[in-house]
Amino acid sequence: MSLSKAIALSALLVSTASLAEVLPFEAEYRADFKGIPIAKGYRQLIDLGNDTFQIKSIGTALAGGLKYDDTSRFTYHQQDVKTLGFVLKQSSLFSTTNVTGHPDRKGGLIVDVDGERHHFEAPDNVHQLMDAAGFSVQLQNDLKKGLTDLDYHYNVIDEVDNYRFTVVAEETVETILGTFEALKVEQKKREGRSTWLWLAPELDYHLVKAEIIRNGKSWATLEATRIDIVEPEKPMLVKQTATNEAEISN
């Protein structure tokens, strides 16, 4: 099957209701460096009503005391994420960075980093800059729509990054959670370095695996160890839970 036909088929399998909605979820991840567990993460999205949502992301390194804690609120209207505001804390044994952000009236972001104010204006072709958590939701829903060339501008602490993602294949991927038919997406960062993402349509296009490639070799991986999705038709959890003994315990 050609890539264009595979993408079209994936889009058709998603109902109109799913395209219009953001599904609440909880997910856990683990990161490995050359096969050695180095970090774990947790993400949760809740529906606050009136097309407003909150997403929380926590990342913790297994050594060094590194921790990332980000809470973001956004609206989702006409299949577009619009940031309402976010609070981020990034800490280590020797330092802590506190960040807060909110949108201006022209699609930009006003961000405070440890008391220093930054004003990032949106480019002419961007309806609004996003924060990192909101961008991840937009990526999922753009893939639902069948888009294959994706371009985003979003804030990361004291700067705005512009990342492009390209759907390159539909393939079977082995993960801790099991085997999935997934969209393989490439994020090209710079020469000799890229990130591969595998997102599973059957799990609402959630990330099930990521791999960082440096100079043609695998450098680090990230895999989902739990993804619980609240389906709109049935107010109950559809659960995929890892049973691998190597999974990091909470």
Of the listed ranges 80-84, 206-210, 221-225, the one predicted with least confidence: 80-84
**90 pLDDT band (50/70/90 cuts)?**
very high
Comparing 237 with 216, the larger pLDDT belongs to 216
For residue 46, the cross-strand partners are 54
Q: How high is the pLDDT of residue 102?
A: 95
Residue 17 has pLDDT above 80, yes or no: no
Q: How high is the pLDDT of residue 232?
A: 67
Mean pLDDT, residues 225-249 taken together:
58
Mean pLDDT, residues 220-234 taken together:
85
Mean pLDDT, residues 134-152 taken together:
90
CB-CB neighbours of 128 under 10 Å? 19
Q: Taking a C-beta distance cutoff of 8 angstroms, is the pair 64, 72 a contact? A: no
Mean pLDDT, residues 85-101 taken together:
93
Report the distance separating Cα 127 and Cα 125, nearest Å.
7
Q: How high is the pLDDT of residue 226?
A: 96
Q: Taking a C-beta distance cutoff of 8 angstroms, is the pair 78, 19 a contact? A: no
Q: How high is the pLDDT of residue 211?
A: 93
Q: What is the DSSP string of 69-132?
A: EEEEEEEEETTEEEEEEEEEEEE-SS-EEEEEEEE-TTS-EEEEETTEEEEEPPPTT-S--EEH
Report the distance separating Cα 171 and Cα 211, nearest Å.
15
Chain centroid to CA 56: 11
| Dihedral sign from CA coordinates of 63, 187, 24, 170 | negative
Q: How high is the pLDDT of residue 13?
A: 35
| Dihedral sign from CA coordinates of 242, 243, 246, 247 | positive
Q: Across the chain, what does the average pLDDT equal?
A: 83
**217 pLDDT band (50/70/90 cuts)?**
confident
Residue 81 has pLDDT above 70, yes or no: yes
**64 pLDDT band (50/70/90 cuts)?**
confident
Structural domain spans, the chain: 3-241
**191 pLDDT band (50/70/90 cuts)?**
low
3-state DSSP call for residue 137? helix
- E strand spans, the chain: 25-33, 36-49, 52-61, 67-77, 80-91, 96-103, 109-113, 116-120, 130-131, 149-156, 159-175, 178-190, 193-200, 206-214, 217-230, 237-241
- Token digits of residue 234: 């049935």
Report the distance separating Cα 59 and Cα 75, nearest Å.
24
Q: How high is the pLDDT of residue 233?
A: 56
pTM of the model: 0.79
pLDDT in tens, 116-138: 999 999 888 888 888 988 888 99
